[in-house]
Amino acid sequence: MKNKRVQYLDLGLSDYMVTWKRQEELLKQIVDLKKKNSATDQDSRIATPNYLIFVEHPHVYTLGKSGDEHNLLLNYIQLQAKDATFFKTDRGGDITYHGPGQLVGYPILDLENFGIGLRQYIYNIEETIIRTLLIYGIESSRDPNATGVWIDVGKPSARKICAIGVKSSRFVTMHGFALNVNTDLEYFKHINPCGISDKGVTSLGKELGSTQDFGRLKELVLGKFAEVFGSTMV
């Protein structure tokens, strides 16, 4: 039984590690159910749930499992001065920044419910953001050499507006995307974002020249997420 209903959880401003543990709890719940289902006859199996967490984090830098610590350009004392923390994670990708004014989305989905693999899943997340930005009149696209969503790909002015880093276990996902909305971009000056030193970063607010309604943005992303994944948000 495939379940395309997605339970939406808005955590507001939440500590990175607290949210990470919440993701792990939900992922374990789904994986344990999948294991139980695999040992049960078809008629007795229970549909696995799906979740989508929206959150903002206090200032934090996170490093992917294959990332290079040298892409963090601050030492411990300098991090403290910026009221920022640093964590090594188990997601893919290199280093990135999370902070207030940035919409972070953590889909915990059983991809078998949607009939897709990890590559299509990442494509769908990118497509969700690309379609959302079009509502604001911003044309964005994928970079064939890097994940995430970019503006002016292939030009000297190329800049990233949304980073993506994911993990999956038994086709269940965690971690996700970070869309810069009203983000303080100064914090990106202290890293090589996603390990890339020759391209810039931007935000929705910077591109439009004004602070954006964060609540409206979340509603639009939810709508496009449901559209792209063919899901029902609950």
CA distance 90 to 32: 20
Q: Please choose, from the candidates 148, 207, 153, 138, the residue with its C-alpha nearest in 3D space to the C-alpha of residue 178.
A: 148
Domain range for residue 184?
5-233
Lowest mean pLDDT among 7-16, 86-95, 107-116, 199-208: 86-95
Q: Answer yes or no: is pLDDT of 34 > 90.
A: yes
How many other C-beta atoms can be found within 10 angstroms of the C-beta atom of residue 34?
18
pLDDT over 90, % of the chain? 71
Q: 197-234 pLDDT, tens per residue? A: 556 899 999 999 999 999 999 999 999 999 999 999 99
Q: Answer yes or no: is pLDDT of 195 > 50.
A: no
Q: Look up tokens 């009203």; give the residue.
A: 182
Burial 178-209 (b: 16+ CB within 10 A, else e): bbbbbbebebbebbbbbbbeebebbbbbbbee
Q: What is the pLDDT of residue 189?
A: 82
Put simply, whether the predicted model's pTM sits higher than 0.85 gets the answer: yes
Q: What is the pLDDT of residue 178?
A: 96
Give catalytic residue positions: 194
**Two tokens, residue 24:** 């792990």
- Per the structure, how many domains does the chain have? 1
The rounded mean pLDDT for the chain is: 89
Q: Which residues contact residue 129 at a Cβ distance below 8 angstroms, ignoring those fewer than 6 apart?
A: 140, 149, 161, 162, 177, 179, 221, 224
CATH number at residue 155: 3.30.930.10
Q: 139-194 pLDDT, tens per residue? A: 999 999 888 999 999 999 999 999 999 999 999 999 999 999 999 998 888 776 54
What DSSP character marks residue 66? T
